[in-house]
Structures are given as C-alpha cells and as structure tokens.
Amino acid sequence: MSNTQQLNDLTTQVRRDILRMVHAVNSGHPGGSLGCTEFLVVLYQNIMERKPGFDMDGIGEDLFFLSNGHISPVFYSVLARSGYFPVSELATFRLINSRLQGHPTTHEGLPGVRIASGSLGQGMSVAIGAAQAKKLNGDKHLIFSLHGDGELQEGQNWEAIMYASAKKVDNLIATIDLNGKQIDGTTDEVLNMGSIRAKFEAFDWDVLEIKEGNNIEAIIVGLTDAKSRTGKGKPVCILLHTEMGHGVDFMMHTHAWHGKAPNNDQLANALAQNAETLGDY
C-alpha cells in the first residue's frame, strides 16, 4: 500500500515512461495512456491483492485485463514499476525481438500479461471467463478490466455485458475509460453512444462513476466503493471520467494524441511538465 506522495511520484514517473517510450520509436498511443495513468497506478499499488512473481493461472490473487490494448505504454510502465519485469526493459518497447510488443501479448512471455489485446472488444469476455474460473476454483479474489469508451462500439462487448449480469458474474469490476475521444474525433462525432451509464444499467449492472478520473484520491474512493459492491449478484461497472493526454498541457482537450508520438521539442516540453521522481529507465 503506497501513500499519497508515493502514488504521486509513481504517477509522474509513469507519465515520463510513456512519453519517452513512444518518442523513442516514434509510434504508440500516448493519449489514452496518459489519461489512465492514475487509475492503473492506484489499481496496482493500492487496490489489487497481488502475489509476488507471476503465474498465468493467477489463483489466489486479483487479476487485471487490459481490453484496449493500444494503451500498452501505461500498462507496461505500471507492470515494470510494480515489479513484474525490469524497468530497463521499457527501452525495448516496439523494437524487434522485444517482449514489449506494440499491443500486449502473452506470446513472448512478458510477466503480468495474461491475454493478447489490441483487436478491440474482446477483453470483457475474457475477463468474464477468468471471473467464472475463479468462482469454480472457490477463489474469492476479483477480476478487474479496463475498456475504452470508443471500444464499446464493438458488438462483442454487448454480448458480454448481457451475459455477465444474466449469469451474475459479481466478482468482476469492469472500468470504462470515459475520455470521450477516439481516432477520428470525439465519440459523439464518430458514433454517439448516448448514455453509457443508462446502457449498463439497462443491462442490469451496478454502475458507479469516478467523476475525477485523474485524481488519485477520487480513484481510491471509487475503486474501494466498487470492491464493496462485488459479491452482491451483479457485475460492477466503473465509469471513469478521464482526460486523454492528462498531465501534458498540449496533449489535453484533443483527440490528436491518440496514436501520435511527440517530436524532440514536444518531448522536452512534456517532460518539463513531469519532473523525474523515481528515476528514468
């Protein structure tokens, strides 16, 4: 369990990792990664019950599944800085012969990753399967998953959302990153989804919102609340209101940095806004 200062320091360092990783290979997805940094830091440091080391079955611990795999930079940084693999390995992101593929995968055996993701809309189903395996095993630990809001346009999600409530998969906390942006523009412009809350509620999920999704204290409160709602017959959905590109002023309030790397000057500017805390990789 980390205190507020430690969480703040880690958050800033993860932001630096994200920026430096995508800059180094001039590719990758900084926008959504920066927006979900606080969430993943809090989840891994203060919320999930994790065992030391890594085994695929993950029996006796909480598990996390990243469905929107393109935000791999934040996932990799948080995994490395949570002890799953050496922080120095972040320097291999998207390079040939790396375990840190553009989108996360189990294929190269990277500890901390339990499913490949990248082709969108598949993670909810996988998380449900893992949750049902936990129930069969009598394992009281929880499954967490993260999904993009634009990702909800993939139909498989709604098969999964319908199933999870019908089958009372109440050991699952699925978080939707509600940043309102996708590649071609805002989610409202591309395909207006109306009220995502109303949709999840109509599918009989227990829905809660974290209005300040880039505020560490708010995330702790929200995730703690979500945990308390598990085991009551309904899957739990968190609507996490985030700002894409959070922490870098020129990357915020636009969808432009969804999948674009900063140039040298932009990187220097962005890093100046996030001073080194725990040491760069």
Partner 1 sequence: MKKYENTGSKDTRSGFGAGMTELGQKNEKVVALCADLIGSLKLDEFIKNHPERFFQIGIAEANMIGIAAGLTIGGKIPFTGTFANFSTGRVYDQIRQSVAYSDKNVKICASHAGLTLGEDGATHQILEDIGLMKMLPGMTVINTCDYNQTKAATLAIADHHGPVYLRFGRPVVPNFTPENGRFEIGKAVLLNEGNDVTIIATGHLVWEALLAAEALEEKGISAEVINIHTIKPLDEEAILKSLGKTKCIVTAEEHNIIGGLGESVARVLALHHPAPQEFVAVQDSFGESGTPEQLMEKYELNHQAIEAAVERVMKRK
- What is the smallest separation between the CB atom of 105 and partner 1, expressed in angstroms? 6
Per the DSSP assignment, residues forming a β-bridge with 143 are 63, 172
Name which of 235, 232, 183 is nearest 204 in CA terms. 235
Q: Would you say 59 or 208 has its CB closer to partner 1?
A: 59
CB atoms within 10 A of CB 68: 26
Site stretch for partner 1 (CB under 8 A), options 12-20, 41-49, 99-107, 197-205 = 99-107
Q: Would you say 69 or 247 has its CB closer to partner 1?
A: 69
Q: Would you say 44 or 65 has its CB closer to partner 1?
A: 65
Cα distances (angstroms) measured from residue 175 to each of 129, 151, 186, 247: 16, 12, 19, 21
- What letter represents residue 172's amino acid? L
In this structure, are strands 181-182 and 172-178 parallel, antiparallel, or unpaired?
unpaired
Per CB under 8 A, the list member of 107, 140, 168, 253 interacting with partner 1 is 107
- What is the smallest separation between the CB atom of 155 and partner 1, expressed in angstroms? 8
Q: Which three-class secondary structure state does DSSP give residue 167?
A: coil
Q: Does 206 bind partner 1 (CB under 8 A)?
A: no
- What is the smallest separation between the CB atom of 63 and partner 1, expressed in angstroms? 7
- What is the smallest separation between the CB atom of 124 and partner 1, expressed in angstroms? 7
Site stretch for partner 1 (CB under 8 A), options 101-109, 197-205, 235-243, 244-252 = 101-109
Contact 120, 160 (CB under 8 A): no
Per CB under 8 A, the list member of 4, 26, 51, 56 interacting with partner 1 is 56
Q: Does 48 bind partner 1 (CB under 8 A)?
A: no
Q: Which string of x and - marks every residue 113-152 that binds partner 1 (by CB under 8 A)? A: -xxxxxx--xxxxxxxxxxxxx-xx-x-------------
CA distance 34 to 101: 18
CA distance 195 to 115: 29
CA distance 164 to 170: 8
Q: Does 159 bind partner 1 (CB under 8 A)?
A: yes
Q: What are phi and psi of 178, to 5 degrees?
A: -90, 75
- Output the six-digit token pair for 121: 């809309």
Per the DSSP assignment, residues forming a β-bridge with 239 are 176, 209
Per CB under 8 A, the list member of 7, 14, 63, 142 interacting with partner 1 is 63
CB atoms within 10 A of CB 104: 26
- What letter represents residue 3's amino acid? N
Per the DSSP assignment, residues forming a β-bridge with 178 are 241
- What is the smallest separation between the CB atom of 223 and partner 1, expressed in angstroms? 21
- What is the smallest separation between the CB atom of 130 and partner 1, expressed in angstroms? 4
- What is the smallest separation between the CB atom of 51 and partner 1, expressed in angstroms? 14
Per CB under 8 A, the list member of 13, 72, 92, 105 interacting with partner 1 is 105
Contact 263, 86 (CB under 8 A): no
- What is the smallest separation between the CB atom of 193 and partner 1, expressed in angstroms? 19
Contacts with partner 1, residue ranges (CB under 8 A): 56-59, 63, 65, 105-107, 114-119, 122-134, 136-137, 139, 155-156, 159-160, 162-163, 166-167
